[in-house]
Amino acid sequence: MSEYSARDVEAVSVGLVRKHFYLFAENPEEALVLESGVKIGPVTVAYETYGELAPGRDNAVLVLHALSGDCHVAAGYHDQTDTIPGWWENMVGPGKGIDTDRYFVICASILGSCGGTTGPGATNPATGKPYGLDFPVVTVGDMVMTQQRLLTHLGITRLLAVIGGSLGGMQALEWSLRYPDQVAGVVALATTMRHSPLAIAFNEIARQAIMADPNWRQGHYYDGPKPATGLAVARMIGHVTYLSDEALRRKFGRRLQGKDKFSFQFNGDFQVESYLRHQGTKFVARFDANSFLYVTKAADYFDLEHWGGKGSAVEAFAAAQALFLVVSFTSDWLYPTYQSRELIRALKKNGRDVSFCELKADCGHDAFLLPNRRLSRLIANFLERIQRESQI
């Protein structure tokens, strides 16, 4: 269960925030060269910032979002009618674990997603229509290269820390290898160095659900009905992997939804069925089916065991220079603790300074997103340590 009190979760807003857009690679010679060898441009990066950049530009923290997130990370609002909080409002803000009174926090929507950064739903300059499947397959490394272009634009040459959970944690680890001299600290939460066959299998089932929807039309559905059913099923599949047996038993058990006996039909008798259908419907309203395909494939391709042509994660992390904080959760069966321990061994064999904590939580993989006083303290203390010890 969460260790937070009611007082801790009071909304302390970062105030009025604005989504910014950075456009680069407008000229062919400036194109972003992806790991596949394909060149892409122009590229738009959507991002938000919170707090103030210090005169020495030494207090920047890059927060990296997971699969279904975007750049709206904190509890600010875009206008007076906006009531939707950021996806990590319990962690980012004044006086919180990532304190916006002390740090300049940046979060950018990832390449290939649908949060404002260029992805399959963006306009293909060659056709004037949405890319669809003409968009090149991207990797976690491509996402990080895009973020690095943004930071160069912002005049930030070194980050105090990169912080992310799940797919965001993969990006954080990628940062430590791709740009080792630009990162002082890495916080990797509920993440892995490479997907297990189980994780790849769930992603493939979800992708097949989308592609089996007759409205998908080989990815070129933007002028007609969305593949809503396929995307909703994909979300339902993914959502189950983010939870745990205990969380589902506690929240739903075998209770029926709005009835006291079975219907003997297929309309959804159980509360857990109704919950998953609701989650699928909500997701369709805010996410793009093609982006789901691209982002899950990027996660499946991620593999630090063979990063940069190396033969092992130990070899890959030889170049890392940052301090590391790695956190896993006891009930996370998507990226279980043994995978975090493999990461720690690779770091320690390179003499890296790494702190590790396995937090007790019964809510599954999503635990890193939920209010937790101990996690907040861990991150706050780690950032303070980096400020004391790093030479940015």
Helix (H) or strand (E) holding 63: strand 60-64
Distance CA 296, CA 293 (A): 6
DSSP summary character for residue 137:
P
104-108 and 20-24 strand pairing: unpaired
The identity of residue 163, as a single letter, is I
Catalytic (active site) residue 166: yes
Radius of gyration of the chain (CA): 21
Q: Which two tokens stand for residue 232?
A: 């909703």
Contacts of 48 (CB under 8 A, 6+ apart): 17, 18, 19, 20, 71, 72, 73, 74, 76, 106, 107
Scanning the chain, the segments in alpha helix (DSSP H) are 140-154, 167-178, 197-211, 228-242, 245-251, 271-286, 289-301, 313-316, 337-348, 373-389
Distance (Å, whole) CA 234 – CA 327? 27
**Catalytic site includes residue 365:** yes
- Give the residue among 185, 151, 160, 146 at the shortest CA–CA distance from 54: 160
The amino acid occupying position 68 is S
In the residue annotation, 78 being an active-site residue is answered as no
Q: Among residues 68, 109, 113, 166, which one is catalytic? A: 166
Strands 92-93 and 60-64: unpaired
Give me the catalytic one of 332, 340, 366, 376.
Answer: 332
Residues with a catalytic annotation lie at 166, 332, 365
